Structure formats: C-alpha cells, structure tokens
Structure 1
Amino acid sequence: MLRWLQNTCKYAVLFADSAFGIRCRHPVSDDRFSSETPIPPLAYIGLIVDRRLFTFVLASFVFFAGYTFLRLKFLPPPNAKPAGQQAALDAPAADADDLTQAESADGGASDAKTTEDAGDSPGATETTTPAVGDPDSDQPDSDQPDSDQPDSDQPDAITGPAQRPQWTTLGSMDPASKHWMLVTISGQGGAIERLELTERDEDNKLKYRRVDVRYGYLGYLAPQQAIDVDGVLVNVVGKGTPAALAKAETGEVGLQAGDIIVSVGGKSVSRYEDIESVLQKTEPGQSLKIEVLRQASGNEEANEAGDDAGDDADNASANPTTLNFTAELTNHPLDLIRLAKYGGDDQIKGNDSRLSSLMTLAQVNRKSILGSEHWIAGLGDPERWIWSIENKTLPTGDAATAESIELSITLSDQRMERSGGKSVKLSRTFSLAPESYVVDLSVAVTNLDDAAQKIALRLEGVNGITLEGWWYSNKISPNWGGSAARDVVYKTDADGYELISGMTLLKHARKEAKDPDQGIFADEGSDSNTTLRFIGIDAQYFTVAYLPPEGSDAMTEFSRASAGIVANEKQIARHKERAVNLSFYLDTKVTELAKGETYRQDLRLFAGPKVPEVAAAHGLEDTVYYGWFWFVAKPLASLLHLLYAIVGNYGVAIILLTVLVRGAMFPLSRKAAINAQRMQELAPEMKKIAEKYKDDMEGRLKAQRELQQRVGFNPMAGCLPMFLQLPIFVGLYRALSVDIDLRQKPLFSFTQWASNLAGPDQMAYWGDWLMDYFSGRGNGWLGPYFNFLPVIVVALFLTQQKMFMPPATDEQTAMTQKVMTIMTTMMGLFFFRVPAGLCLYFIASSCWGICERIIVKKTLPEGKHFDPGVLEGTVTSKTTQNESKSSFADRMRQRLGHIEEAPAERPNKRKRPPVKKKR
C-alpha cells in the first residue's frame, strides 16, 4: 500500500511538471522530482509546491464561488416543476388529472399522501404539503400563474357549486351531544382525515385520551400555512373542541374556518409546528391566548359563493379584523385515525400520509385497475378529487341527534373517455349516531350516459391507526410469526379469523416490488371465499374495521380484497418495522348499469376499543385474543374487574389478585419446598454415588434410582406444582397484557407518575440527553423514559435469589450461581419497558414468594426425613415394604424393569419329545 501511494504521488508530480510547467521541489533536497529520485515516505506530507500551483488553485476557487453567488443573486433559477408535472402541463390535449398522475409517477405525492420528513422528532415537518394559494399546489387558486391552470377546453371533474376543497365534521367533543366520536371529513378526496374518540366516563372525563402526551389540546384545525401574511390558516373547527368554545374579548365565540392564527400564547406563529411547540409547554385546564385575523363581514358573501381559502387569506390581509381569543385547553382525545405526518413523537420516517376510506372506480367496462396500481390510468389518484359536501341532521327520537354528510362528484365524458367509459356520478354518505362507535357508510355510482356501462367500485380501508405504545407494547398474535403495532385482520367463511402482520406485509413489499400488495381473497366461484364477516386494522387496544350493514351478518358484494403497506418500504428503518403504516382495499363485483341506474353498497365502520363486551356486540370477539391459556386468563380478568369494583384502584386490585392466586397455590408450594428439603438431605449420598461411578453413567443412574426407591423419594413430586402453576402465571400475565381497562388507569391519582398501568411508569424523561442507542423509540434498550418500577422488580429478584440460593459446594456450582446473578441483572433490560401493571404483578409475586419461603421453612417438619440406616442400606424403609403405598412412577418403573416369561405354546404347535430307541 505504501509503495502504491509513493508511486502515485511521484507520477502526479511528474504530470504537473510536464503539463503545466509547475516545478515541484523535493521537500528535503529541494531538487526536482524524477522517476528515479528516492523520496522518504513521510516527506509526501510536506510537499513544497511552486507558488504558481497555489495561485492557480486559489484563483479557481474564488472564481467559482463568485460566479455562483452572482448567478443566484441576479439570475435566480426559474420555479421549475418536477419533470413529470411539467410534461403534463406541456401536453395541450392532456386531461387535468394527467398532472396528478404525472406527479405520482415522478414521486411527487399529493398534499395528503406525503412521505414524512427525515427525523422522528416532534418538530419534524411535511415539506411537500402545499399551502393554500401556493403556486406549486394543484388546488384551484386564482393567484396561481396561468401556466398552472388547466386549459379551458380540458374537462373539469367538479360539477357541484364548490370549486375548492372543504372540510366538515361529524360528531362532537361536547359531552351534552352524547357523541362518542369526532370525525373530520376532507372534501379533497371525500374521505376520512381524522377520527377522535370523545366518549366520557362517569366523572365527565375523556374515557379514551392520548396517554403519550400530557400537554393541552386546542383542537384539530386541518392547518395550512397562509400565503400573504405570516400565520396558519384554519380549515375546520370541530364542535365542542376548545377552539370552538374559545371566547373573544369582543364577544365572538369560537374560531372559524378561514381564520388565520397569527399569535398563540404571545408568540408569533407562521406554521403549524409553531403552534404545536407552544402547546407542548402547556397543561390541560390552562388558558391560552390566541390572536387571529378574520375576514371582514363584507366578504362573507364572497366566501359563501365559493371563493377558495386562498382568497379568504387575501381578503383577510386586505381588510382584516383582529380578534383576541382565550381558549381553555383540555386533555387530548385519542386520535384513533390520523395522518401519519401528525404522529408527533411516533412519526416514523417512510410512512405515508393518506386519507382513509377513499373511493374510486375499480373497473369501467373493459378498463380496470392493473396489478399493483390503486386507480385506473386516466382517472388519477382519488385523493386529489374535490367533492361537493352537504351536511344533514337525522332525527333519533331523543334529545341527541344523528348527523349525516353526503358527498358527490361527477366524472365527465372527457375524463371517463380515457378510462374506457362515459360520464358517471359517484356519491357516498357518512352517518353517525350518538353513543355509538359505528359510522354508517354507503358508496354509490350512477350511470349518466345513454348506453349501459359495466362498473365496479373500489373502497380503500383505513390507515394511520394510532401507534400508541408501539415501542414498548407486545401484542399477542395467533400466528407464530408475531404481530406488529398494526395488523390487518379479517374473517371469511372459508378462512375463518386471520391476522396478517404489518411486518409480513413490509417484507412482502420489499421482496415483490412489482406487486407489493398481498391478496386476501378473490372470487373463485365459491361463495365462502367472498363471504366477509369483517375486515380492518387491529392495534393493541383498538380496532377499526368494516362491518356488514345493520341487519346483515356478512358482506357478500365484494369480489376481491388485498392488503399492503402505505409507506416507502426502503425508508422504514429495521428497528421501526413494527410501526409501518398499512391498509387494504375491497373491490365490488362488476355490475351492468343502464341509463340513470344506480348501484349502492352499504356497510358500517367500527372504530372503538377492544372491550370484550363491545367487540362481541359487533362480531369482533376474535380480535380480543388471550393466547393459549385463555381459559385461565378470562376468569382472572373477570376477578380483577370485581376487585377493582370493590377497592376502586387497579394497582391495589392487581396486588390483591396476585395474593389470592399465590395463596390458593400455597399447599402445592409447601409440598414442593418439602420435596426440595428432602432432596438436599439426599445430596451427600448422591455425591458419593457420583464419585463412585465417575466413568460409568449407567451404573450411576442405577445406583441413584436404587437409593431413591430405598428411601421412598420421588424426584418428580416437586415438578407437579410447577406444571400446575405455569398456566396460572401465564394466564395472569395475559390478562394484564390484553385488558384495556388498565389503560389510562393510574396507580396514584395525585401524580403523573404511573398514570397509565398499561404502559411504563415514566418517572422521568431522559431522551434529551441519553444517547439514542439507549433511549430511542424502537431501537433503544431502555426507551425515552426512566422507569422506577422495573428497578424494584430486579432488586426483588436478586434479593430472592440471594436469600434462598443454597451455598455453593464446588467451583462449578459457584460459577453457575454467578451466571444466574448476571442473567437476573440482565433481565432488567427486558423488564425496563414492561407496563406498570405487570411490574406491580411481579413485585407482589416476588414479595409473596419471599414471605412464602419464610413461612414454609417454619412449617417444615423438624429433624431428618430419612433414617440414616435407610440411607446406608442397613434398614428397609416402610414405604418400600408396602408396595401399595409406592408411587405411580415407581410402580411403572418396576413394571418396565420386570422381564416377563414367554407364554407357553399352543398344544398343536408343540414339538413332540424325541423317542428313545430301545436297546
């Protein structure tokens, strides 16, 4: 290597000398280099070069830097679009949707389907989400350059009055509404953007709130960055949220869509991340000052006429009204469905943000969706379609009312022509009743052409299900391969209940890049294959699934179903594969529609907790899985709930349950302890036998067996309690792992420590200063929080081991005990992220075990268990004299060791004795 470096430098110097006239001097002798000049190896570091070489390099650098600076200052580069998008704009006869398709092919995802920004910090941003009025946005905007607008002769997909994306909501966060959900619907895509659980408990607190955040909640605003002013544009305000209940100094109540937030908590904001950073320093119940710019009253008519949100921002900047609101923050409701870019600390690089329950055409006459594509070529991504929205109120017979939203979009002849069809109208509804975890859905298509058309619909599933606890939870799976934080679950008459792990789908996508989706079922002529009971996404404690419509027990109109990831499989880190985003889709059977005829498919969307009673009421009981020892886990879970109803604290209930279970097994534990004591008494004799038959294994075993038979000792008697205790311990562990009632239940109500028994106790946050190798989510050994309860568990394990481990009698035993101590300490790494409820179980069980051994030791019979004469073989044990009292194992061993005589032959088979000849 040194010789190669020496020759390379030498010939480089000769080339510079001959080509540029640059004379390089020998660093020692000041002579010119030649191919024969020997140079010390270390001298290459101190090469002395002629001044002309230094001047040439310096002048070149200064010229290049100056040219770059002047070009950027006086000749800025044009705001060029991506190659795929520019090609679509340059095509004179291109459909407006070609722009969308070209962007997708070029890697430029839509504003709702974006790959998350590098980095998993809370401040990570979505750099590809266009702001309202942004020239790079494909949303209709009057401020966009003419080149960004589609040609006037191009077909328009929107025939309704609204020409801009709108947002609306179903349900409410107000307890008086009796709604258990708040669903945000996006008009761009006509699908679910967010779903929050707002059910209240008996204390009027959120029954299911986010347990991974402790700061205040303002409400989901579908925020976008404003254009003409520094601020954040509000697109939607959910009913009953703190933003909707905020009060202004001038008497106005609630923020409104079109408002621009310019200041929060006295701090100026220009992006949503600025608002989030202020909220992270607040607490529930705290008041927060919000300054907004609101469109003047004279512009409200223009807003109602359908001007876009960008025009609202312009009007606000031209004639704004400044309002100062005060909002009282609350706890954060669980956002069961959300866009991946709003994941906060659980934002995973590579996961895509995409709306849930999108709808498109799966087949038009002879044109259908190909292979791994998700829409028909020519129609474009359905997430870019802008639907018209109509809100309705439905009577329910009581004070509470059900809400319904109707969305529709008309695909023109020109748009459909490139897809092999003619004009059709797509429509869908979302309906939500009070006190329900179910959203009623319907999808429909109407043929607007004179000729009949063969149509099939595609309904995408949900995605972006909450990642709560993915870095510490351990979801039980019925498959050998395990499960991820989110899995696809379904049930058909042919396959029964099945779970497809998210990690399995990720591996399939990496292996089969051309066809990343994994098929679930297809119409193969058998009705049982396509008889679908439910299909959805399953998390640790929650499930979101499609169900048959009310009054039906199965969905039979779907001909195909597949599952896949909603992510860039190449960007998902190996240690975060469990958190991959995934979804599925359903294709209806092809139906021929005459002119004006409509095909409609009804179903329901369940989005709620995996409470056994709730799941069973909706046909989802299979999703609550306790494992092999369910027959033990379920009764113990019921007993735990009974104890909680008595004492009112799940921490105390877990301790009482552990004491009851261990106390019921005390007789077995005492018998095992007596057997262990007898074994210790036989240890010296066993050691003598081992020394006597050092090289004879068969003789050693025979002598040990004879000794045990002589004294009446059964070595298997101590194993029976262990076999009986194992299902009970595992069942108790499963009951505490699966039971959702432990979620959000505190150990102590007066402190935030151990406020969620279904997760780690999170005594202190150390993720800011501890290296990611230890504190990272998914890749860290310990996690981002210091947990105190696992430290107590390991300390008790070590104490129990030191108190009851017999002293070492030789070097091998001493080494074994040292290894056991090290392994027990290492268990602390595995127990460090165990939920607090399980830690309480281990603490109570260890304390009971210590007390039990002390009590058992005092109740053991005094004196020797065996007569010394029996041990020496001079006296026969009474147990051996009475065969009827011998153990089953001894009798089986004697039976196997006894060699029976061969049965006598039958008379006709006997040989005659030889006849003796007479002499």
Structure 2
Amino acid sequence: MERRLLVWFISSSLFLAIYILLNSLFAPPPAPQPVADGPAGVVEPAEADPVAEQDDDARPPIAADADPADAPEEQPRPDRPSLITLGSMDPQSGFFLLATLNSRGGAIERLELTERNAEGKLRYRRVDTTSGYLGYLAGKTSPDRDGCIVGVVGPGTPAALAVPDETSQGPGLRVGDRIIAIGGRAITSSRELNERLAQSRPGQSVSLEVVRPDREGPPLILTAVLSEHPLDLIRLSSTGGADEVLGNLDRLSCRVTLSQLGDRNLPTGTTSIEGLEWIGEAIYDHEVKAAESVDQEVVFSLPLSQRQLGSAATGPVKITRSFAITPGSYLIDMDVQVENEGEQPQRLAYRLEGPNGITLEGWWYSTKISPNMLGGAAARDVVYNTVRDRHRLLSGYDLLKRAKNQPRDPDPTIFGEDEAEQNRSLRYAAVDAQYFVVALLPPEGTEYFTDFRRSAATVVADPREIPIHQERAVNVSFFVDSLVSEVQPGGSIRESLRLFAGPKDPDMLASLGLSDAIEYGWFGRVSRFLGWILHWINWGIGNYGLAIILLTCLVRFCLFPISRNAAVNAQRMQELAPELKKIAEKYKDDMEARLKAQREFQKRVGFNPLAGCLPALLQLPIFIGLYRCLSVDLELRQEPFFSNQAWASNLAGPDMLYYWGDWLWDYLAGRGTGWLGPYFNILPVFVVALFLVQQKLFMPPPTDEQTAMTQKIMTIMTLMMAIFFFRVPAGLCIYFITSSLWGIAERLIVKRTLPPPKPIAAFPAGDAGGVVDGKVTSTRTAGKKSLTERIREQVKPEPPKALPPNKRKRPTNKR
C-alpha cells in the first residue's frame, strides 16, 4: 500500500510539472486589448511620460447641449501642460520628498523619497536596481531629430547638478534640452538613454551632449555624477520598471473631478459625469510659491465655463487645488475648492481620487500579512478606518475579482451616502504596500473626515488584461465623494486634507494614528518585543545580519531546557518503540485493546507521550513571532549582510546571487509566474541542505518497511520545500541557517549528556487491569464486536451460511 502511495505521489508531481511546461509553451494568444477607461492606456514599455505626451493642442470640448450664444467669451487658456516639482533631492535642503506634478489634471505624477541617513546616503532607495540615477526627466523622443527632450529636472538630482564645459551656461540640464549622446555614444530616443543609464553604476561620472534651444554652436557638454535611485513611492505604471505588470493603467494620483452638477451625478462604476470626462485631463493654470530657492507650494486652478459644462450648469464653476510640502516631513498639505462663479445657486459636489501606482518592489517574493481571517494580502491593498468598521483591509485580490465578475459595479463601497452620519466618519483611507503607505488624512487637530458622503475602493487597471499568477501586482486606489451642497453665487465647497507618503515607521505612524497599518498577525506582541531586541543588538554591533544570528542564538539558548526535555522524551520513545510495536502487532484487530495496552505499558515505565508535545507548543509563539518580526521589520530593508555589495544587499529580499531571468524559462524564472524567480539564490540551498543533514543525523534507523517508506517521503518533501524557500528573504534564510546549526549542535551535545537508558520493567503476573505477563486482554463485553470488526464487515461482508437440506425451500418453478 505504501509503495502505491509513493508511486502515486511521484506520478502526480511529474504530471503537474509536464502540464505546467506544456501550458507555458503552448499558451493561447492574448485577447485584443480593449480601450481603457482612464487618461492613459494599458502599460507597455514606454519611452516617456504618457500623460505629458498627450496632444498638446487639445482644448476642453464644448458640451453638446450648450448654446454658445448664451455664454460670455472665454479667457485664453494654456494649451501645453507643464511639469512642476516641489521639494528637493539636495541633502542640504532637508526635504524628505521630491514631488513631480502635472498641470494636465492638476495632480501628482511622481513622488520620490529623498531623506538621508547620518552618512548622507538615501535612507530609502530602490532595491530592485543597482544602476546609476540621473533623475526623472520625463523624456520624450524628438519627432524629427535624434535624441531625448528633457521634460522636467528635479532640484538636487544629478541632472540638476551636472557641470557644463561652458561656465556661462550655468549648472544642470534644463527643460527643453535635447540629449543627443551619453558617454560619447549617440542616442536616438529616450528609450536608448534609459538603456545606457541601466548599464551605469552609482558614483559614476557620465558626459552628456546637449543641444539647447536658445543656444547656437556645437552641442553643450555636461558632466553628471550619478547617484542611487531614490524610492519612487508613487509613479506612473509605465515607469515602474521590471516589476510592473501588463494591464495596470497610467493615471495621475489625487485627481479631482465633479461628482454632482445640478441634477446630474456621477454614475456607479464610472470615473466622471457623462460628457465631462475631459475634466480629468484638462490643463490647469498654476502658480508656484518658492522659499529659499526651492519650490514648496503650487496652486492649480481650472475655470469651467457654462458652455463647457452644458445645460446642467446655471453658471461657470472653478476648481482650485493646492499642494504644499515642508522640509523634514512626509506630509503633503492639500486643499480642494469648488467655487460657484455664476449668478444662481448650483448643486455641486466633487470626487477626490486617492493615490495609485504605489511601489511594487519585491511583490513576487515579499510576505505581506493580512488581518483578515480569510484571504491574503496583495502587494497593494486599500486600508481604511471608520467609526463603524475600525481598521479594515480590502485586498487587491478581492478588488480585482470583483472588477472581473461585476463590471457594472466594480467598486466595493467603504461607506455609502444612505448610511448614518456616524458611519461615514472616516479617519483615514490609504493604499498599503509592504513597507510603505500613502494615506489620506484629515487636517491636523481633526480626528475624522465628516464631509464625505461616499467612498469606495477601485482597481486602476483593465481587469481582463492582468496576467494570470500576477494578480498580486494589480494597481488599486480609492475615492471619496463630497456632500452635495447648494452653493450660492460666489460661494464654494472647500476641504483641507493631508497626504502622508512615507515608510511604515512605528513611531511615525503612531503619531498619525496609522499604527494598524503595520500588521504582524498572530503573536504580534512577541514579534514587537523580539524586534526591539533585534534593533538593540544592531545598535551595539552595527550589522543586522550578525544581529539576526545573535538574536536567533539568544532565543534558542533561552529555549534550551525545553529542547533538552524534548530530546530526552524522543530518546525514551525510541527505547520503547520495539515494545510498542509488539503490542500493536498483537492487537492489530482490536483497536480498543491496543490503546489500553499501550497506556498501561507507558504508565508502568513512567513515560508520558504528551511531554514532548507541550514544549513544542510553548516554542510555537516564539518561533512564529521571530519569523513575523523578520518579515515585517522595516529596518531590514536595504540592509546588507556583509557590505553594500550586490549579493545579499537587502535582508528583506532574496540574496540574488545570479540573474538568470534572461535565459531561463518563464515558468521557472518569471516574476510571479515562475516557481523560482528571476534570480538564483544560494542561501535557500544552504537551508534545505541543513534540513536534510538534520534528518540524516537524528532520524532513527527504520525498523520496518513502512517506517523506511515514511522516511523516504519525508526526504522528498524536504527537497520540495526548496521550491517554496527559494524566494525567502535573506534575513529569514540567515535565521533558518543559524537555527538549524544550533539545533544540530544542540542535539549532539544533548545526546552525550542524556541519562542512560532505563530498563523496561517486567509485568508482574496477575496484574489488575487485564494485563498479565505483558499481555493485555480486552475488557469489552463478550460478544460485542470492536469498531475495527464492524468496519471490516461493512467493507467485505461474509457470505451467508448454507442452510441444511431440510431447511431449504423448493423453487417455485419446480414441482
């Protein structure tokens, strides 16, 4: 029977592997890509900012039901979008953020974290790339000439600090410059520029040949010193790099549109009122306010005439919004105002969209814990806190599933306008990632938002285009709708908000009321306590890799008495195994008698089989707590094992010894679709090797064929564990390696210090309880069949006994 089980197990595994191979080799062609409901298309490898590359000559349309003669002449409007930066990457500026905003839509296009540590290095850099960083340029390929046209230059970036060969020109690239060569090699497009930069390294000096529009003569030569990539916490999906997946849409974050205009409102499942879709892409006027030579605030304004709004409007409306940041803070102050500039009252309300395009770093290997009992967390989830629901998480998996199954109503409601006012009190709404969160918060001094009538979560993606096995990377967001107000002429609706975009630092989140965004799962207090010890050890030695080793040793040392007791119990179990086997063989047809005999035997020799289970249960909270601590702790991110070398440079991710994603099959090396991932990792190999060594050293020799088969299956299962451990973060691998080495050494030491085997006492004759000379007699009622016998009779009933001739009946067809 055991051999058939092993053959079935191996055959099933082989069949599954062949099925996956054939499915990847002969996959069906993708369906035609539908038109997306959003300001940009489905993500494909892009050369530049898709939002900025839209038709520059576009004008807001005139509503079909409007009468041009009834409206006054409109004021001239800007016809070209602009990119505006707030904050700086300069270490001396003290800013923690560098924001890039787009006047087309008046919203956030990109947000980078620029805080520095004590050594002057970026505290939060990108961990998915080791190339050099020139800066976010929003480059566009020149339509009639070779080169890349610069769209924006962030203050303090290497591009802004590039030194020209002509001192009269001043430092840095400028908007409108056309880069035609880098490192002495010509480029023809922005894509080619990005490819050249991908081959560079931080600290490397590169020369840029630039054609400046207002300058004649030969190209200008600038020399830039590349830096590390700051973490782009918010970005367009098309600029997300290798971790981005097909199907996610490009959309600016925190856009504003009208959700109520007169008697017209925004239908369920849509992003704008019918006929007013262009508001989300309209070009705003903007005014920038600077302090100490750094732009810190921008005010966007969008006047909407009655002719543009249509017959539902009784007059013009103006949308005004502002963004402001301050040094040393991860908060962005936002104001939204909708003003009635007409001469009659108007029913107005607005919709404020949340952030989207949050970083996807490590989504294919990270372990994110969900507070929900059923269902797991995706790489990006929506979290919120209301008076009614408290802290809740809406998984990206569930949002994508609903968008597929209910396309007419794809957005699950956080709260609705028909609910009580108390239930609509919103403390925060956020998009949550593994180590970072972007949250919409009420203004300082206010605990809850009370001016929103509706809120819901949504996917910023085409659900039909998200590849299978990559659903975890779906782009998600949320929105809030303001209360509908009867706005008098000259009056307005106004709301002040804060946007937190930063790391999941426990102290920082606690000060903002976001502590629940850090989820440890079970035994959270144990995890926090062990995390505190880990940070204390690192403070003393300055290396988190060694700190994990010392913490693991400390935990195993404290558990040594329990482990030794378990080892003593295991040895005693091995000594008693032959006798227990004899009892099992003797009473193999009588389960009740067998259990009674085993209990009597264990009681006589003084052995308690549960004594080995209790220590294991006591250790469980500690081991789970330590595992969760290493999985969630922000401080392990971008911390190297030895130094800042490429191997094991991020303890929160795999060690990434060698990149094989270019030549290995996608079903093995794909991000999310592969069993192993795009990198060969050596630490998981050591982990599984040590597991096998432990089995070989401490597993008792088989006493029969069944035990031997069980041990072989355990070995196969351990080898299969290598697949699941292959993408485990390096910090966890260090923990497993240290724990395994400690366990091997502990067992060897304990084996030498164990007490000598106890002799098995003989059974005295005539012992009460039905056990005589080591034999057990069943005490069940005579004639009553055991459970085993009754089951056997049901499976294989005995044929009826033949009747004697004098008892048989004559057949009816015979006389």
TM over 0.5: yes
Summarize the alignment of residues 82-161 of structure 1 with structure 2, pairs less than 5 Å apart: 107=35, 113-117=40-44, 124-125=45-46, 129=50, 137-140=54-57, 159=75
Amino acid at match of 1:444: Q
Q: CA RMSD in A?
A: 2.4
Distance 1:108 1:681, change over 3 A: closer
- CA shift digits 1:599-653 (9 cap, x unpaired): 2100100000011111111111001010011021110010000010011100000
Structure 2 distance, partners of 1:691, 1:161, is: 94
Of 536, 541, 547 in structure 1, the residue corresponding to residue 435 of structure 2 is: 541
Shift of 1:153: 9.2
Structure 2 distance, partners of 1:158, 1:217, is: 44
Check conservation: 1:378, 1:419, Cα contact below 8 A.
Answer: no
Shift of 1:517: 1.4
Of 496, 500, 511 in structure 2, the residue corresponding to residue 606 of structure 1 is: 500
Distance 1:621 1:750, change over 3 A: closer
1:209 equivalenced with 2:125 (yes/no): yes
Structure 1 distance, partners of 2:730, 2:100, is: 34
Amino acid at match of 2:206: L
Structure 1 distance, partners of 2:49, 2:233, is: 24
Shift of 1:126: 6.4
Match in the other structure for 1:363:
260
Summarize the alignment of residues 230-629 of structure 1 with structure 2, pairs less than 5 Å apart: 230-251=146-167, 252-296=170-214, 322-393=219-290, 403-479=296-372, 480-629=374-523
Distance 1:749 1:106, change over 3 A: closer
| SS of residue matched to 2:535 | helix
Amino acid at match of 2:172: G
Check conservation: 1:378, 1:415, Cα contact below 8 A.
Answer: no
Shift of 1:795: 0.6
Structure 2 distance, partners of 1:657, 1:364, is: 61
1:219 equivalenced with 2:146 (yes/no): no
Amino acid at match of 2:192: D
Match in the other structure for 2:81:
165
Q: Which consecutive unaligned segments of at least 5 residues does structure 2 have? A: 1-32, 60-66, 769-815
Shift of 1:481: 0.3
Shift of 1:155: 8.9
Shift of 1:128: 11
Shift of 1:265: 2.3
Structure 1 distance, partners of 2:72, 2:286, is: 17
Shift of 1:680: 1.5
Check conservation: 1:160, 1:409, Cα contact below 8 A.
Answer: no
Check conservation: 2:87, 2:95, Cα contact below 8 A.
Answer: yes
Structure 1 distance, partners of 2:576, 2:73, is: 89
Shift of 1:871: 3.7
Shift of 1:349: 0.8
Amino acid at match of 1:274: E
Shift of 1:553: 1.2
Structure 1 distance, partners of 2:119, 2:626, is: 29
Of 707, 722, 737 in structure 2, the residue corresponding to residue 813 of structure 1 is: 707
1:722 equivalenced with 2:643 (yes/no): no
- Runs of 4+ in structure 1 deviating by more than 6 angstroms, as ranges, are 151-158, 399-402, 874-877
Check conservation: 1:168, 1:184, Cα contact below 8 A.
Answer: yes
Amino acid at match of 1:672: A
- CA shift digits 1:786-809 (9 cap, x unpaired): 101001001100001100000001
Match in the other structure for 1:176:
92
Residues matched between the structures, number: 727
Check conservation: 2:152, 2:175, Cα contact below 8 A.
Answer: yes
Distance 1:285 1:201, change over 3 A: same
Amino acid at match of 1:392: K
TM-score using structure 2 length: 0.86
Structure 1 distance, partners of 2:279, 2:675, is: 42
Shift of 1:320: 7.3
1:834 equivalenced with 2:728 (yes/no): yes
- Identity rate of aligned residues, in percent? 53
- CA shift digits 1:270-289 (9 cap, x unpaired): 32211110001100000111
Shift of 1:821: 0.5
Shift of 1:751: 2.1
Check conservation: 2:48, 2:139, Cα contact below 8 A.
Answer: no
Q: Which consecutive unaligned segments of at least 5 residues does structure 1 have? A: 1-104, 118-123, 143-150, 298-318, 878-919
- CA shift digits 1:580-607 (9 cap, x unpaired): 1111111000112111112210010000
Match in the other structure for 1:872:
763
Match in the other structure for 1:57:
none
- CA shift digits 1:879-900 (9 cap, x unpaired): xxxxxxxxxxxxxxxxxxxxxx
- CA shift digits 1:841-891 (9 cap, x unpaired): 0000000100110111111112x324x4x24346999xxxxxxxxxxxxxx
Structure 1 distance, partners of 2:626, 2:242, is: 31
Check conservation: 1:402, 1:433, Cα contact below 8 A.
Answer: no
Structure 1 distance, partners of 2:493, 2:431, is: 27
TM-score using structure 1 length: 0.76
Q: Which is bigger in relative contact order (C-alpha 8 A, separation at least 6)?
A: 2
| SS of residue matched to 2:564 | helix
Match in the other structure for 2:626:
732
Structure 1 distance, partners of 2:462, 2:396, is: 13
Check conservation: 1:711, 1:871, Cα contact below 8 A.
Answer: no
Structure 1 distance, partners of 2:629, 2:36, is: 46
Match in the other structure for 1:894:
none
Distance 1:458 1:750, change over 3 A: closer
Moved more, 336-345 or 231-240: 231-240
| SS of residue matched to 1:239 | coil
Check conservation: 1:523, 1:529, Cα contact below 8 A.
Answer: no
Check conservation: 1:158, 1:410, Cα contact below 8 A.
Answer: no
Check conservation: 2:52, 2:102, Cα contact below 8 A.
Answer: no
Q: Choose 1 or 2 for highest CA Rg.
A: 1
Structure 1 distance, partners of 2:754, 2:72, is: 90
| SS of residue matched to 2:79 | coil
| SS of residue matched to 1:537 | strand
Structure 2 distance, partners of 1:685, 1:157, is: 103
Amino acid at match of 2:56: Q
| SS of residue matched to 2:469 | helix
Check conservation: 1:170, 1:183, Cα contact below 8 A.
Answer: yes
Distance 1:328 1:808, change over 3 A: same
| SS of residue matched to 2:212 | strand
Distance 1:281 1:794, change over 3 A: same
Structure 2 distance, partners of 1:400, 1:731, is: 48
Shift of 1:162: 3.4
- CA shift digits 1:490-540 (9 cap, x unpaired): 000001100001110110010011121111111334222111010010000
Structure 2 distance, partners of 1:710, 1:848, is: 35
Moved more, 709-718 or 603-612: 709-718
| SS of residue matched to 1:718 | helix
Structure 1 distance, partners of 2:411, 2:70, is: 34
Match in the other structure for 1:712:
606
Structure 2 distance, partners of 1:141, 1:356, is: 21
